[in-house]
């Protein structure tokens, strides 16, 4: 059971995701303090375009390969799974080379016509080579994920972020004297260096696993069995057509997320300028939204991305073999896990929005305070964004990949309208874009949830899935806020907010135990599950003893 459930792989990806987020914080926070809101505007002027092209090239590929490989492996066809890997590798190398060429040589035209941030051309060219490396890297990730082996993906993710931070910050610091646009370019080149290093790690892992862990043996045995049965590995044309059939809808859906970022890029600075703000003021507000407040709402994705990635092959295997009970088990468990992670993040970021901003961007105090209202609004989108990712993984696994595309498209359309209307209101300004983002995620999440219930038949216990995590989160939020207010009488903002966060984490953990939000059966599904169950029982015993005292 533990090897089949998505939780085992999700736990591995979560650990690597946490490490990567720590690296990301070590990158984003010093970078924002180094180059300020205007420099972050140049950085984010290039990054959304890169993400859009990157999404076009790879977004659907790991999922498609994972699904195709999982189907083959489920029925023992390892030779067919390996052929899918080899054909996809060649195809993605070609696509990555084309997109690199488009971004590098088209950078002046793109920055001149798409946005008002002409200085972002250097950052755009610096990040262009990453398109080639990441395109190839996506094939390795999809192949391993399809076999429900998440460790290689975890290693490659950590390597990528490590080199991104080291190279990006070093170059940003080296070029800051030449101008903020050049410092931003140095920072974006970190993504290129990280992608190249991760690809090198992926290739090394591939040859090592083929040699030492029996991958080649299984492939050879499967190939011999296919020959004996008179069958063969799928031809190239069929692989490419199936890859496109699965990946294209997923890619279209995935492009909607960076499109929503580009909606802000296209609309916000111009609408702020229409209100009479100077270009510098408009760029500063845009940088506060996208470079300071925006990244914080992505924190729960450390877990929810791991859930979604690990969920797809598990759902595919259950769906293809007709194991409806196990399918329902994984669907309900994935939604519950998402709520346990996302709800406390929503409550915590909303309650401590300004203290958190002041802690992180202490050298830009005025900009941090100005960005706090945007973070407060965006915090309410955390739970819906997390839900969108998890439910999308379920729908992709049951061959309904077009539905999340439609739902995100509806959400993005609503965001465009709201952002344009609200950003132009002087009392709202940049907060209007934040409201538009939250509404987009809310609409997509609600529609996805309805589709999952329709196509999987999974029913959820509202009290256990939503009620208990919400109660735990609200109690945690109250404890964190009261702790912050109390500590502020004796200490500064930094110590007070760190203390409040620590109290919130402790209280939330206690509430999880007290309310039995997580059961022993669920804990046993994680790596080292038996040890976790023992700790769980000891904690409950200790709480009972203290309650009696």
DSSP state of 290: I
DSSP 328-390: HHHHHHHHHHHHHHHHHHHHHHHHTHHHHHHHHTGGGHHHHHHHHHHHHHHHTTHHHHHHHHH
Residue 1 has pLDDT above 60, yes or no: no
Q: State residue 408's pLDDT score.
A: 87
Domain annotation covers residue 195: no
Dist. CA 432–CA 520, nearest whole Å = 44
Domain annotation covers residue 308: yes
The residue among 245, 309, 294, 317 whose CA lies nearest residue 11 is 309
Residue 3 pLDDT level (bands cut at 50, 70, 90): very low
Residue 529 pLDDT level (bands cut at 50, 70, 90): low
CB proximity list for 298: less than 8 A, separation 6 or greater: 385
The residue among 390, 356, 69 whose CA lies nearest residue 222 is 69
Domain annotation covers residue 540: no
Q: Taking the alpha carbons of 281, 286, 291, 292 in that order, is the dihedral positive or negative?
A: positive
Domain annotation covers residue 101: no
Dist. CA 324–CA 83, nearest whole Å = 30
Domain annotation covers residue 284: yes
Region 255-277: what's the mean pLDDT?
75
Size (the chain), residues = 549
Residue 491 pLDDT level (bands cut at 50, 70, 90): confident
Which 3 state secondary structure label does DSSP give 219?
helix
Domain annotation covers residue 335: yes
pTM value is 0.74
Whether 301 and 315 have beta carbons less than 8 Å apart is answered as no
Residue 282 Cα to chain centre, angstroms: 28
pLDDT digits (tens, 9 = 90+) for 276-329: 777 777 777 878 787 778 778 877 777 777 787 777 888 887 887 777 888 888
Domain annotation covers residue 451: yes
Domain that holds residue 350: 258-460
The residue among 439, 432, 421, 429 whose CA lies nearest residue 384 is 439
Q: What is the 3-state secondary structure (H, E, C) of 504-537?
A: HHHHHHHHHHHCCCCCHHHHCCCCCHHHHHHHHH
Dist. CA 291–CA 22, nearest whole Å = 16
Whether 479 and 444 have beta carbons less than 8 Å apart is answered as no
Per the structure, the count of domains in the chain is 1
pLDDT digits (tens, 9 = 90+) for 93-108: 999 999 899 888 887 7
């Amino acid at each position: 059971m533990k090897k089949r459930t998505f939780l085992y792989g999700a736990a591995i990806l979560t650990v690597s995701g946490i490490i990567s987020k720590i690296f990301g914080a070590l990158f984003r926070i010093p970078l924002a303090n180094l180059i300020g809101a205007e420099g972050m505007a140049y950085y984010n002027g290039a990054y959304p375009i890169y993400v859009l092209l990157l999404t076009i090239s790879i977004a659907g590929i790991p999922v498609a390969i994972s699904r195709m490989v999982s189907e083959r492996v489920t029925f023992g066809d390892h030779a067919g799974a390996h052929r899918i890997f080899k054909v996809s590798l060649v195809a993605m190398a070609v696509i990555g080379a084309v997109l690199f060429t488009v971004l590098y040589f088209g950078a002046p035209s793109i920055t001149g016509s798409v946005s008002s941030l002409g200085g972002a051309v250097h950052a755009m060219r610096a990040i262009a080579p990453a398109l080639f490396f990441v395109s190839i890297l996506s094939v390795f990730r999809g192949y391993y994920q399809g076999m429900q082996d998440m460790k290689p993906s975890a290693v490659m993710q950590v390597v990528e972020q490590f080199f991104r931070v080291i190279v990006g910050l070093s170059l940003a610091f080296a070029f800051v004297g030449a101008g903020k646009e050049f410092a931003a370019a140095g920072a974006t080149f970190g993504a290129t260096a990280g992608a190249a290093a991760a690809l090198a790690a992926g290739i090394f892992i591939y040859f090592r696993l083929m040699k030492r862990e029996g991958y080649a043996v299984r492939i050879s045995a499967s190939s011999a069995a296919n020959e004996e049965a008179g069958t063969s590995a799928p031809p190239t044309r069929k692989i490419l057509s199936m890859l496109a059939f699965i990946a294209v809808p997923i890619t279209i859906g995935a492009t909607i997320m960076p499109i929503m970022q580009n909606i802000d890029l296209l609309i916000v600075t111009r609408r702020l300028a229409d209100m009479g703000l100077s270009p510098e003021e408009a760029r500063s507000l845009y940088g506060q939204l996208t470079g300071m407040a925006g990244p914080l709402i992505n924190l729960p994705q450390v877990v929810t991305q791991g859930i979604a990635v690990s969920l797809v092959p598990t759902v595919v295997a259950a769906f293809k073999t007709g194991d409806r009970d196990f399918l329902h088990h994984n669907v309900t468990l994935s939604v519950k896990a998402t709520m346990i992670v996302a709800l406390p993040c929503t409550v915590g970021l909303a309650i401590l929005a300004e203290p958190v901003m002041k802690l992180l961007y202490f050298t830009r105090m005025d900009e941090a305070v100005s960005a706090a209202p945007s973070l407060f609004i965006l915090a309410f989108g955390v739970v819906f964004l997390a839900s969108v990712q998890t439910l999308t993984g379920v729908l992709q696994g049951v061959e309904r990949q077009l539905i999340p595309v439609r739902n995100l498209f509806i959400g993005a359309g609503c965001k465009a309208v709201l952002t344009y209307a609200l950003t132009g209101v002087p009392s709202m300004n940049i907060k209007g874009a934040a409201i538009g983002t939250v509404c987009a995620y809310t609409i997509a999440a609600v529609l996805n949830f309805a589709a999952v219930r329709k196509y999987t038949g999974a029913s959820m216990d509202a009290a256990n899935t939503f009620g208990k995590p919400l109660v735990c989160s609200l109690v945690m939020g109250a404890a964190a806020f009261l702790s912050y207010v109390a500590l502020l009488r004796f200490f500064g903002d930094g110590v007070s907010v760190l203390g409040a966060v620590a109290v919130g984490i402790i209280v939330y953990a206690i509430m999880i135990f007290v309310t039995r939000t997580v059961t022993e059966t669920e804990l046993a599904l994680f790596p080292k599950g038996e040890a976790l169950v023992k700790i769980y029982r000891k904690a409950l015993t200790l709480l009972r003893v203290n309650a009696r005292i």
